[in-house]
Structure 1
Amino acid sequence: MPSSAGPSIDKITEGGRVTQVGEGQDADESAPPVMTFGAPVAGEILAERYELVEHINNDSAGRLVWRGVDVVLRRPVAVVMRYPGGDSATEMLQAAVAASRVVHPNLVGVYDAIDEAERAYVVREWVDGRSLRELVADGPLDAGRATAVGNAVASALAAVHATGMVHGNVHPGTVMISDDGRVVLADARTDGADSQENDVRAVGGILYHALTGHWPHAEAPLHGATAGHGRAAIPDAVRDANGAAAAPRQVRAGVPAYLDDLTMDLLDDSVAPPSSDVLAAELARLDVPADDDYLDSNGPLRFAAEPGEEPSPLAAAGGRKVAFGIAGLLAVALIGLIIGISTLGGESDDPKTDPVAAPSQSPSASSAPAAPAVRDLKISAARIIDPDSRNRSEVRDAEKVFDGNRDEGWSTETYPTSNFGDFKRGMGVWIDLGEERTIKSVQVNLSAPGASAELLTGTVTGQSNESGDKRVLDEFKKNRIGQPFEEHDGTTMTFNGFDADQKYRYLLFWITELPSNGNGYKVGVQEMTVQGS
């Protein structure tokens, strides 16, 4: 997604007014500030231009946030005020002046900064929507939306850092999502307490919060807001005995491995972070349209790769699989050549050996036609069936279940319970043989023992989406091949309950129970092999 357009999140909000400044709390109208000199009132016009319309909230630093109107340009504005002004407002005004020099679609625009001694205020863009903190309070975001938020924040930081400045105040209260899906960063600080590296690491915190609803920085949940501090508080991350935050995939099922790794690397002080522009480019690469997001693996994080590790075009296109395909074609060609040579070399004018000229054998010498040889059948396509989840993060890598390499395959995410967390019926691998075949057996190699699964068949293909997967499962459930495996104690399942008089094209290996891996429950399908004729 081009940074100039700014990433967005479709239908991520349902309306409501955003907390316009920092980690601001809802205003408590029953407890106004003690100081009243310079206090604003509704209807007042500041600097003969900005009319105050409604008091929205106060932030944790004691600043007041008002919704206003620029009476000259007739546009809504946010007015951030503190009183008195003077020295107490210096940092706020300096930050506003610095921010006004950076124009970017993912940064809140700053229009004016005025110090009137008894009070000082900053006038800036009004954003209809909610802060990320308020949004995630309704539930964590899916992987695609979390990536879009991270992309927007990193892009905004890249613009700030390009000027040599530091934002210094990146957290879920300063990230806003407008009603139309625009993601913007607000409320920069200029107190010199932060660095560009800390800004970049803060993106890891944003991703962590978006994916889990928790905040990984226990020492400073919201730049000074302590745990349990009104509505500004965010639940602390789940931690081990050493105080280390659990990875998002350990907190919540369905988080893709690549996003989990990126988030934890950004939070890990022992891992050097990328620059903000490199991080923005990487997140832009991962932030692809929903229809395409899960069709192919996004590959390794580019900034984390060693020098010279950039995958070759062959590898990027699935080089090992291409090599296997070429090797297979060469093998077929070689076998055909050998057969052809044998046939040509075996020609004879002797009618006793000529299959055309030889007389028919007597009934006593005849034999029944030989049964077709059983061999490995080609799987022409595969896809992951996940009918009970809109998060399509687990439906990639299906081609690895028939690539001839048992060292890698498709895997589920880690779930909190063996039955996929009580919110889905299971997951499976659907395969297409390309045409109807007589099948003798299907062998499935798994990454670990202890799984329960069954083999199903049907004729429905369906689109690769939630509704299409439901159609496939509902139809295939009517046709089970043999008996299911319950908590199988091995890593290989062999299904051989096929009807010799029936032909099959589509099969579904359906997993109903996951084995434990120590941190939760998951399983990988390393390889599927179909034998028949």
Structure 2
Amino acid sequence: MSELASAPSGAAQRSTKPAGAGVEDPAVPEQPGPEDAATVRVTASRPSPRPGPPPPTTAGSILVGRYRLRTRVGSDTAAGAEFWRAEDTVLQRDVALTLLRRLAPEAGAIGGDDDPTGTARAGEMVVRALRSGSFEHGGCARLLDVLAPGASGMPDDVLGAAVTEWVPGRSLAETVADGLLKPLAAARAVAPLAAAAEAAHRHGLVLGCDHPQRVRITPDGRAQLCFALPRPDITPTDDVRGLGAVLYTLLTSRWPLSGADAARAGLAAADRAADGVPVAPSSQRPGVPVELDALALGTLSPVGAAGHVHTAAAVHRLLTEVVAEDDRVALFPPAHDGVPSSPGDVWQDGHRVVHRTDPRRRRKLMIGLAALAAAVLVVLGYVGVQVASMFSDGGAPVIVVGSDPLSAANPPVQSSAAGAGDVAAVANVDVYDKSGDSDNSGRVSRVIDGNPDSNWRTYQYKQQFPALKPGVGIMVSFASAVQLSSLTITSPSAGSVVQVRSAATPDAAFNDTTQITEITLQNGTTPVSLAGSQPVTHVLLWISKLAPGDGGFLTQINELQFRRAGG
């Protein structure tokens, strides 16, 4: 600023002329007098042209050279956060990324040019995330990484980010879009999230589950917190309200907190009574137990109101009691709750009105049944003629199946799979890893999807097993004990060594499993004989040696197929 300051009024001006000179030296410019000071200030303070703004961070952008943004799934403007489904390009897995973006102040987010506290608030959120790094619970996604502001490879418009495990399944809006859930299913869904909030509050932490897009519902029906970095001013009380809001939404399909958040999440806002409290779930649908009705309203009511629920521990305890009571009285018919019974329910809706089916769907069904009946008749006719030919003295008659004539004297060649048995249906599959992260567990279901072009693979290791860990496996579970005759493994990872082991439970210790056989994979399909093995409910495919490739070691499996014995 010194070059912009003018001399004080009345101060002597130092001459720039040589002493004793009577003529001005043209080589030495005369310094401006006080009357020119304003001109000097204007000239010196003229800003240089600013460079254009950097391109915004969007789908396809990569953070710190590792995390590629895929799909934006939501935002929390109160926290200045965006929620993204991203890809960890190093470990080749899906992750959930909460991004704090530097936005204009009118957008309602932190970090604008006129918001000097934005960067500080973002830093506070990042610090809080770092403090919660050791907290793990099944009700919330595990924190994997925290990206601080100014980190190498961080875009200019990003103030920070947190990376958590991706929660497969559906958002709250997607879950209720297909129709209302049964009240007890809603209670079972929220119980794990309430347990996570209770554990977090005991450790002095908060979850931030009061935003509908931070919570996802897993394929097995559990509510789980997916995105981290809640706003700085959130408290355990907000978590309690969030638990009640998630329960209220699963019961009514309406979000009872912020109407703006509801609109962004694709949910309807809850109707409210004259006192501003959301109306009771039981007034919007039948069959809601009085306990869940009171719990939902108690968490959402103002502090100090009658029946107000103060803690996440109280929410978890009441949900557990409701679920336990439902299990105890499962032998009695449930109250009508407005939701049709599912095929797995013990009590079915035999007395309710059957709605007329879609005519087009009925026509397709009849065509399919007719085709099936025709195929059965052809097969029965062929079998009958074959049996009759065993007792005939002359030449066997010609049988026409479709357009190909078959003679009993020249029977068709039987498939090599004859006698191998029916395909055994797999009930569940999961990555088995007792010593580290489950390698690409979100993709392991691809080995039983019937598509040989999809695959699951281990992480790429720089050293062969057992240098870093003894191995990694795939635990396959059947609905009941099955006698297996064979297994086929489709894989391009030739040289991988796989042990086929039986297990009593899916989470059994490795030493409690029993080896059935061991094989080395070929490039393509590797047949594995399981003849003589005992009936099993759980089969562990334990990879004890990886295949070399791409400068490291990894094993890829495209498809698994089990066959029953005696087919």
Q: Same fold (TM over 0.5)?
A: no
Q: Which has the higher contact order (CA 8 A, sep 6+)?
A: 1
| TM-score normalised to structure 1 length | 0.44
Higher Cα Rg: structure 1 or 2? 2
| TM-score normalised to structure 2 length | 0.42
